[in-house]
Every structure is written in structure tokens, then in C-alpha cells.
Amino acid sequence: MIEKFELLERKVLRKSNILTYCDDLYRFPDGKEEVYDIMLHNGASAVVPVLEDGRILMVHQYRPAVERVTTEIPAGKRDEGEAFDTAAARELEEETGYRAGRLEHLITINTAIAYCSEKIEVYAAFDLQKHEQHLDDDEYVEFEAYDIEDLVNMIYEGKIMDSKTIASLMAYYNKYRLT
């Protein structure tokens, strides 16, 4: 039986607009103590946007942390107090210009469970209607529609490496396309 560790002390080292970096001192079940790097994150939402013909809308953007242009599902952090499904619909419209007629919850993800509290709620979006893309000032994003089978191949070929995107596309594929 695995027991909880006891949090003895939290030292906040840095608070940015997305992450709060803490040194947390924990006591293990056997009494030993150790400091963990813990990042606190307010949560995010992501969407698998499904066009009427079954193709999936994906976004391309430059990601400094991995130094390359990626292919991802639309996603973004939740505003303070915002509901996860509201954030999902908002991010979809901001990044692609499409409004979702219907969102179905797909899965819940912790991105980097070893050191970050970030949780992403992922939805499949249907009945999409085209409006206008309106990106934030610091967003440089293009979108493109793909067949789900091609996206699955891109995962195995290493062309899609983003964990939320792999988890979400495979969960969508298994739930909606193979049954």
C-alpha cells in the first residue's frame, strides 16, 4: 500500500504568468525527508476538432522549449476562474476561427506528473462552424486539416511528439473511429 508523502514546507521561488516554481520539503512514510521541485500550474484545455468530413484540425506553431515547429491539437491555458469547457471552445476559436456546436469530454491529462501540477481537460469538438481566427499578440499559429489515419502514422513516425496531442488523438481514434 503506497502512502501519501507529507508536505512539511513550501518555498515559492518564482511566480510567472504560467508557472509557480516551488521547493517543497516532503517527509516520506519511513520518516526520511527530501526537497522536490514542484511547478504549480492553473490548468489548460485542449480540443480534437472534427470537421464534418472527419478530418481533424491541427495547429502549427514554433515551440521554443523544443526548438521546432510542431503539429498539435488546439490548446491553451485556462483564464483565472474559467471553466475548462469554456476555455476549450475559446482556444479553438482563437487558434482556428472555428466555433464548436458540441463538445464531448474525451480524457483528462497530467502533462508532467513528476514535477508539475498541470491538468488538461481534453474535448472532442463537433458541428464546427467557420468564423475568424483571432490570435493573442504573442501567438503565431497556422492550422491545417488532416485525416486521422495520417495523424496516427505521424505519431509512430515521430513527426508528432507532443504528449497531449498523442494521448488525445489516440483516445479519439480508439473511441470514435474504431468502434
Eight-state DSSP code of residue 50: B
Which residue, 65 or 80, is less far from a second copy as judged by CB?
A: 65
Which residue, 13 or 80, is less far from a second copy as judged by CB?
A: 13
Q: CA-based diameter of the chain, in Å?
A: 58
In terms of Cα–Cα distance, which of 46, 40, 110 is closest to 74?
Answer: 46
Q: How far is the CB of 133 from a second copy (least distance, A)?
A: 14
Contacts with a second copy by CB under 8 A lie at: 1-5, 7, 13-14, 16, 18-19, 21, 24, 26, 28-29, 32, 34, 36-39, 60-67, 69-70, 72, 107-120, 137-138, 140-142, 152, 155-156, 158, 161-164, 166-167, 170-171, 173-175, 178
Please give the span between the terminal C-alpha atoms of the chain, in angstroms, as a whole number: 36
Distance CA 124, CA 105 (A): 6
Q: How far is the CB of 129 from a second copy (least distance, A)?
A: 25
Which residue, 69 or 129, is less far from a second copy as judged by CB?
A: 69
Which residue, 49 or 76, is less far from a second copy as judged by CB?
A: 76
Which residue, 86 or 117, is less far from a second copy as judged by CB?
A: 117
135, β-bridge pairs: none
Q: How far is the CB of 127 from a second copy (least distance, A)?
A: 22
* Per-residue CA distances from 110 to 33, 42, 44, 60, 89 (Å): 25, 12, 10, 22, 20
Q: How far is the CB of 52 from a second copy (least distance, A)?
A: 25
- Using CA atoms in the order 86, 135, 169, 63, what is the torsion angle rounded to 10 degrees? -130
